[in-house]
Structure 1
Amino acid sequence: MAHHSSAKKRIRQTEARTEVNRARVSRIRSFVKKVELAISSGNADAAKAALGDAEPQLMKGVQAGVLHKNTASRKVARLAARVRDMKPLA
């Protein structure tokens, strides 16, 4: 247990940041999951729309420091490739 007031403050700050960051990561995962569901359902239009919503969220995660830039770029690229390869419903 921390004995100095500065160490106690750091513990409080870390707990607060952790809570915010967990919420950010959870939000990103939700957006990615929407894209995955649209892809699995075979709805190309919904998948494109969901990808359009997910990409900015991933990049905001990079800006917030909860994701590495390359990780977010890789996720976007892989999702975009899967959406691009979908057959449009005729």
Structure 2
Amino acid sequence: MHPGANKARTLQRLAYQLGVPRERVLAIGDGNNDIPMMRWAGYAVAMGNAKPAVKELAHRIAPSIEQNGLAVALVDIFKLDAKEVFDS
């Protein structure tokens, strides 16, 4: 892997290529390696099991991964039908 590669740069490049403005980018993480990505994104979600430094910068803290935190956060943020998501 290139020494300058990281999640933030990758997300930034993808958003640029897709024409998505930074403020409309969502990043979800739990580890210290997610911090630059979460700082760059317009909205950051930390998993419930995230490191304290990750939780500090998040706009929202989701339940832990063991509690389907990613799905719970996405259902809430995007106003999805929870029954449809969790029953499938």
The TM-score bracket by the shorter chain reads under 0.3
Question: More relative contact order in 1 or in 2 (CA 8 Å, sep 6+)?
Answer: 1
Between Structure 1 and Structure 2, the one with more strand by share is 2
TM-score by length of 2: 0.25
Q: Flag the structure with larger Rg.
A: 1
